[in-house]
Amino acid sequence: MINNKVLVVTGASRGIGAEIAYRAALAGYYVVINYNNSEEAAQKVCARIKNEGGKSICIKADVSDEAQVKTLCQKVLDLYGRVDVLVNNAGISSFSLFTDITTELWDKTFDVNVKGQFLVTRAFLPSMIHRKEGKIINISSVWGICGSSCEVHYSASKAAIIGMTKALAKEVGPSGICVNCVAPGVIDTEMNKALTPEDLKSLADETPLERIGTAYDVAKTVLFLASDDASFITGQVISPNGGFVI
């Protein structure tokens, strides 16, 4: 089943992005898998999709590098002539006491998490405006809503994404483009590999639905926002978090 729509997902070599790519391909999208370092993992996601009859390609680009982002966008437009859905998922996180956050760590976090989403969106937006349609889905985090101790830099970067989403939704709504934000709770991916099983259990215990989330929980939310069922939803933050933050 091909729906003839093109979906680009950044940071799709593993974790949440890989699951979004896989589920989008099953839903019939032509999927562009962006990655930066994990080429082999990205190729595996691509191969898994192709094995199941889906359509996808992998494109390497560091989302924080303006020239690489321009090339990524040009390659997609040359190949498909359009982008229907952009999922800004690539992100990094780290733990640090506030007083130990170096300027380099602060800049790196904002370069990837905030400037990355800005650069990728700025590159693809003109083609959406030209066609007067498109969906942009920015991945924030529950920590961007409520803040996380020892993750001030990460929380601030994820809060910036919420502001960017809301402001851009107002600006491009008249051009027929919806911009929304997905702010997941704690999700079982490599990003949380520093957490011990005890940490994960206590996070699950604090969650009304009594478990931490899966990449599939996030992918389903993203695909809903990408679908026609969400055509009157823009500027919103949807948080698949099991009730962890209400």
What residues act catalytically? 154
Please tell me whether residue 241 binds ligand NAP under the rule CB under 6 A: no
Indicate which single residue of 8, 17, 49, 54 sits in contact with ligand NAP (rule: CB under 6 A).
17
Indicate which single residue of 5, 14, 115, 135 sits in contact with ligand NAP (rule: CB under 6 A).
14
CA distance 15 to 11: 9
Type and span of the H or E element at 94: none
For residue 201 the two structure tokens come to 């259990």
Count of chain residues binding ligand NAP (CB under 6 A): 32
Contact predicate 207/153, CB 8 Å: no
Beta bridge partners of 58: 33
Contact predicate 56/23, CB 8 Å: no
Please tell me whether residue 152 binds ligand NAP under the rule CB under 6 A: no
Please tell me whether residue 117 binds ligand NAP under the rule CB under 6 A: no
Residue 235 CB, shortest distance to ligand NAP, in Å, is: 19
Indicate which single residue of 20, 191, 203, 230 sits in contact with ligand NAP (rule: CB under 6 A).
191
Strand order through the sheet with 30-35: 55-60, 30-35, 6-9, 85-88, 134-139, 177-182, 237-238
For residue 180 the two structure tokens come to 């929304």
Please tell me whether residue 138 binds ligand NAP under the rule CB under 6 A: no
Please tell me whether residue 186 binds ligand NAP under the rule CB under 6 A: yes
| 4, amino acid identity | N
Please tell me whether residue 242 binds ligand NAP under the rule CB under 6 A: no
For residue 23 the two structure tokens come to 């589920």
Stretch that binds ligand NAP, among 169-177, 179-187, 194-202, 229-237 (CB under 6 A): 179-187
Return the number of the residue (140 or 234) whose C-beta is nearest ligand NAP: 140
CA distance 134 to 189: 28
Please tell me whether residue 35 binds ligand NAP under the rule CB under 6 A: yes
**Between β-strands 55-60 and 177-182, what pairing exists: parallel, antiparallel or unpaired?**
unpaired
CA distance 102 to 100: 6
Could you give the C-alpha distances from 244 to 84, 110, 140, 141, 186, in angstroms and in order? 32, 25, 15, 12, 9
Please tell me whether residue 112 binds ligand NAP under the rule CB under 6 A: yes
Please tell me whether residue 150 binds ligand NAP under the rule CB under 6 A: no
Contact predicate 148/233, CB 8 Å: no
Please tell me whether residue 59 binds ligand NAP under the rule CB under 6 A: no
Other Cβ atoms less than 10 A from the Cβ of 53: the count is 10
For residue 19 the two structure tokens come to 């699951």
Please tell me whether residue 22 binds ligand NAP under the rule CB under 6 A: no
Indicate which single residue of 3, 4, 37, 202 sits in contact with ligand NAP (rule: CB under 6 A).
37
Please tell me whether residue 139 binds ligand NAP under the rule CB under 6 A: yes
Question: What residues between 65 and 94 interact with ligand NAP by CB under 6 A?
Answer: 89-93
What is the contact surface with ligand NAP in residues (CB under 6 A)?
10-17, 34-38, 62-64, 89-93, 112, 116, 139, 141, 184, 186-187, 189-192
